[in-house]
Amino acid sequence: MNRSFNKSQTLRYLECSAVEVKSKFGAEFRRFSLDRYKPGKFEDFYKLILHIHHIANLEVMIGYADVHGDLLPINNDDNFFKAVSSAHPLLRVFIQRQDEVDYSNFGTNTLSRKKKALVTLRNDNLRRRPHINISMPHDFRPVSSIIDVDILPETHRRVRLYRHGCEKPLGFYIRDGTSVRVTPHGLEKVPGIFISRMVPGGLAESTGLLAVNDEVLEVNGIEVAGKTLDQVTDMMIANSHNLIITVKPANQRNNIIRSSRMSGSSGQSTDSTASHHSLSTSHVLQNFHPDEMESDEEADIVIEGGLEPQHIPKLHSLTSSSLSRINGSSLSHRLQRDLVLNNNSGRESNGNIHKLLSSLKTDPRHSLVIPRGGIEEDGTVITL
């Protein structure tokens, strides 16, 4: 433990490496400081919080106010590090009992009212909704992810697009083309499948993980070599609910540097070349769990009952609403399970969630991702 903190110490200078922390639980305040550059592990921080507030036997949720005044969660090493390093000048920490957590407060301007109007102005769609829900990361619905970074060559990228019945189109086109392979006999031209076009505003484009002229190598783990364009099209459509494409990006400069080479702290993947690129900060590293592919997320809908066949219009409205309801619940169920898997699979896997958060916040397009239906009916489906 190279970290030291002093309960009674007060703020000295900004230049100094210490960050002043003001922690609030109920009506009680505690003040202490942390090392800005070596804040330590979240686990220890959590213990510390419990200790100084004398609430050792409580399950609590820790949040902090970021520079914009938004309430954001601290629940892992990465967002803890982010919280500490971005504190200016003071890190304000809020503690809530786990069972009293009001998720709706997260991500909103709980602390500075002046920005609230701005948020609503940004997107007219949001105005109809009572409030925007942001919750703990495990309640976020992922739209895309890069997976299997540890097992793929660095020149390849395996992208997972989550559609989950969202109304946004997948939105890309593929074409035939020629790819150059290195073989023992020298360079060889072989036929390949390439992304030919992105639909503006589509899921594929908005993730920023796929681009025109990327070569498609696999679809859901099955190599496309030797398959025709139509076959690959059919495979992608058949897997559209959970599409995993392995591509060789046309632009090889944004490749992910393997976590083994990362220095343990985040932010290293945002190098200078990537910063002007849209995919700069939206990476979520996550191990790919093969059992997830098997999971039957596409549960078919069965409607029982003596519906009078003659009343067609009625039947239709009924069908569509019940359909989306089922979509919604199965979706949130799945999400929760996904998160559990994540948490169990180790700390390094869900490293950059806070970055996803911040990138999502700054990119207004992301607010379009979630289907309207999902928001209206289920509080556990969280949208931005």
Partner 1 sequence: MKDKTVEHGFPHQPSALGYSPFLRLMAIGTRSGAIKLYGAPGVEFMGLHEENNTVMQIHFIPDQCQLVALLDDNSLHLWSLKQHGGASELREEHRFTLKGPPGSPPSATQVTAVLPHSSREVLYLGTESGNIFVVELPSFRVLEDRTITPEAVLQRIPEDNCNRRSCELVEALREHPKNPDQILIGYSRALIVLWDLQNNKAIQHFLGSQQLENLYWQRDGSKFISCHYDGSYTQWPVSSDSRQAEPLENTVPYGPFPCKAISKIYWQTTKNGLPYIIFQGGMPRASYGDRHSISVIHGSQQTAFDFTSRVIDFFIIFSSDPAAEFDDPSALVVLAEEELVVIDLKSAGWPAVHPPYLASLHCSAITCSHHVSNIPLKLWERIISAGSKQNIHYSSMPWPIDGGTNIAPDPPQRDLLLTGHEDGTVRFWDASGVCLHLLYKLSTVRVFLTDADPNDNMNTLGEDEWPPLRKVGTFDPYSDDPRLGIQKIYLCKYSGYLAVAGTAGQVLVMELNDEDAEHVVDHAEADLLQDQEGYRWKGHEKLKTRDGPVRFEAGFQPFVLVQCQPPAVVTSLALHSEWRLVAFGTSHGFGLFDHQQKRLVFVKCTLHPSDQLALEGPLSRVKSLKKSLRQSFRRIRRSRVSSRKRRGGGGTASEVQEANAKFDQDALQEMELAPVQRKIEARSAEDSFTGFVRTLYFADTFLRDSSRHCPSLWAGTNGGTVYAFCLRVPPAERRMDEPVRAEQAKEIQLMHRAPVVGILVLDGRSTPLPEPLEVAHDLSKSPDMQGSHQLLVVSEEQFKVFTLPKVSSKLKLKLTALEGCRVRKVTVANFGSCKTDDYSENDLAVLTNLGDIQIISLPFLKLQIRYPCIRKEDVSGIASCVFTKYGQGFYLISPSEFERFSLSTKWLVEPRCIVDMPEVTSNNHVHNKSGTENAARRSRESGKSPDDCGEDERKSGRLMEHALLNDESE
Name the residue nearer to partner 1 (CB basis): 275 or 310.
Answer: 310
Min dist. Cβ of residue 315 to partner 1 (A) = 8
Under rule CB under 8 A, residue 310 binds partner 1? yes
Instruction: Give me the least distance between CB of 231 and partner 1, in Å please.
Output: 3
Distance CA 222, CA 241 (A): 16
Give yes or no for residue 267 binding partner 1 (CB under 8 A).
no
CA distances (Å), origin 55, targets 6, 94, 99: 19, 14, 14
Q: Nearer Cβ to partner 1, position 220 or 259?
A: 220
- Judge contact between 146 and 256, C-beta under 8 A: yes
User: 3-state class of 196 per DSSP?
Assistant: strand
Q: Is 217 in the site for partner 1 (CB under 8 A)?
A: no
DSSP letters, 230-294, are HHHHHHHHHTTTEEEEEEE-S-GGGPPPPGGGS-SSS-TT--HHHHTSTTSS---EE---HHHHH
Considering the rule CB under 8 A, would residue 200 count as an interface residue with partner 1?
no
Report the site for partner 1 in 126-165 (rule: CB under 8 A): 163
- 151 near 246, Cβ under 8 Å? no
Which range in 84-92, 100-108, 311-319, 346-354 contacts partner 1 by CB under 8 A?
Answer: 311-319
Determine the residue type at 28. Answer: E
# chain residues binding partner 1, by CB under 8 A: 49
Give dist(CA 238, CA 251) in Å, integer.
28
Tokens of 377: 């009916």
Which residue in the set 178, 231, 252, 321 belongs to the binding site for partner 1 (CB under 8 A)? 231
230 binds partner 1 per the rule CB under 8 A: yes
From 179, 233, 349, 380, residue interacting with partner 1 (rule: CB under 8 A): 233
Cβ proximity to partner 1, 111 vs 198, nearer residue: 198
Question: Tokens 């009506």 appear where?
Answer: 27
Q: Is residue 225 at the binding interface for partner 1, with CB under 8 A as the rule?
A: no
Which position among 85, 86, 196, 329 is part of the footprint of partner 1 (CB under 8 A)?
196
Rounded to a whole number of angstroms, the minimum distance from the CB of residue 144 to partner 1 is: 14
Can you tell me which of 71, 232, 360, 382 binds partner 1, judged by CB under 8 A? 232
Nearest distance in Å: CB 65, partner 1:
40
Binding of partner 1 at residue 340 (CB under 8 A)? no
Q: Which is nearer to partner 1, 75 or 327 (CB)?
A: 327
Helix residue spans in 54-149 (DSSP H): 77-85, 116-122, 124-127
Complex with partner 1: residue 95 or 216, whichever CB lies closer: 216
**How far apart are the C-alpha atoms of 61 and 50, rounded to whole Å?**
11
Count the Cβ atoms, other than its own, within 10 Å of residue 304: 5
Q: Of 219, 176, 221, which Cα lies nearest the Cα of 195?
A: 176
The stretch near partner 1 (CB under 8 A) out of 32-40, 54-62, 227-235, 276-284 is: 227-235
Q: Contact with partner 1 (CB under 8 A): which of 42, 162, 172, 288?
A: 172
Residue whose entry in the numeric block shows the structure tokens 């999902």: 374
22 or 175: whose CB is closer to partner 1? 175
Handedness of CA 363, 102, 286, 174 (dihedral sign): negative
Interaction mask 280-309, partner 1, x per CB under 8 A = ----------------x-xxxxxxxxxxxx
The binder of partner 1 chosen from 55, 126, 170, 274 (CB under 8 A): 170
**CA–CA separation, 182 and 4 (whole Å):** 54
In 3D space, the residue among 138, 49, 139 whose CA is nearest the CA of residue 94 turns out to be 49
Cα(314)–Cα(139) distance, integer angstroms: 34
Identity of the residue, 238 or 340, whose beta carbon is nearer to partner 1 in the bound complex: 238
Residues that bind partner 1 (CB under 8 A): 163, 169-176, 196-197, 204, 220, 222, 227-241, 296, 298-310, 312-313, 316, 319-320, 323
